[in-house]
A = this chain, B = another copy of it.
Amino acid sequence: MKLNDNFNNLKQSYLFVEIRKRVEAFTAANPNVEVIRLGIGDITRPLVPTVVEALSKASAEMGTPSGFKGYGYESDGYPFLREAIAGYYSASGAKISAGEIFVNDGAKSGLGNILNILGHSRVLIPDPVYPAYEDTNIMAGNELIYVDATEADGFLPAPPSEAVDVIYICSPNNPTGAVYSKTQLKAWVDYANANDALILFDSAYTEFIGDPSLPKSIFEIDGARTCALEFGTFSKMAGFTGVRCGWVIIPSELERNGVNVLNLWDRHQGSMFNGVSYIIQRGAEAALSARGLAENRANIAYYMENAKTITEALDKAGIKYTGGKNSPYVWLKCGRPSWDYFDYLLNEKNIVGTPGAGFGKNGEGWFRLTAFGTHELTKKAAERIAG
């Protein structure tokens, strides 16, 4: 028998292993130095009370004969959550019906599994990029085409001239923090429609957008319903990285070669998935309630205060960057190779961040800091950077 030999084409990722190694070596040599970690890509504030209450209530419900839920809504999610997500979208102006929403265990699974319903594809991804886009397509044997994201375009590349089948867009972007405007996204939608391509839009960070002119969903753009899927998640907007819940939106009219994409995905999920825990779906519903949103937005504001602390320090130090305004990521120009800056920050300033070179060739010379720390430590780090 044969295993999937596309896995042979994967590059080994040394990024986080190498970071850990260097930090461990430093702390071993300098046991009394306080190292501040601004490399973390995970939220740190606990679940909000409204969500905890809903999780506890649903847990108790599952222990009663009348409240117990077994299998149910395997491929798509409970109506109460699909409707809550549709309501969340309608508040920001995108019209999505509950029937177009498929609840899943997070954007990473959704973005990975969606490849199962595609044929062999030419796939466009930006460089620098979140590594999972790259790896899942290599595993699937797809052809990868890179589009350069650089300082010149504010790390917001425009569509290329050549045709592709699939396009990944993450806005606000990980790792660069850059956010597409409506006009810029419209160019991608037009390109996708003209080329019969599909956009896979990763909206993981849209709750960090403060500027009301910036799009929070690809479905705020005219024409997106005939070319786009959107992958959302409660991970960053509600602190669900360890709770696991997300969604995929597939417009009901989206089709390719006469095949309805929503129906294809429904069939896929029916055979490959048994749904998200009822308990977790109740927690997710609570996260979208008025009280849940308010509590979670207070956490987002807390993180964005950190982002402001960092960007003000960078401004003061005359360091260029993208992100940090409508994104928890600050992507700074370090003026030297990323790993040299990593060593400098670690050894001289005792701050840990993420070398941009780990996200692709265009990340070389750049560096990612995140807003997910505490106010106290982030302020200290900012003072050290500006000082």
Instruction: Name A residues whose Cβ lies closer than 8 Å to a Cβ of B.
Output: 1-5, 7, 10, 42-49, 51-52, 55-56, 59-60, 62-65, 67-72, 105-106, 108-109, 112-113, 116-121, 131-132, 135-136, 139-140, 165-166, 196-198, 235, 239, 241-244, 256-257, 259, 261, 264, 267-268, 271-280, 283
Contact = CB atoms under 8 A, between A and B. Distances in A.
Contact of A257 (B2, B47, B49): B2
Contacts of A46: 62-65, 67-68
A132 B1 contact: no
Nearest to A1: B165
A259 B256 CA distance: 37
Contact of A264 (B7, B72, B117): B7
Contacts of A198: 1
Chain copies in the assembled complex: 2
Contacts of A43: 70
A166 B279 contact: no
Given A52-B59, A60-B56, A139-B271, A71 B2 contact: no
Nearest to A233: B274
A274 B62 contact: no
B106 A274 contact: yes
B44 A55 contact: no
Given A1-B256, A2-B120, A135-B271, A243 B277 contact: yes
A2 B123 CA distance: 12
A271 B118 contact: no
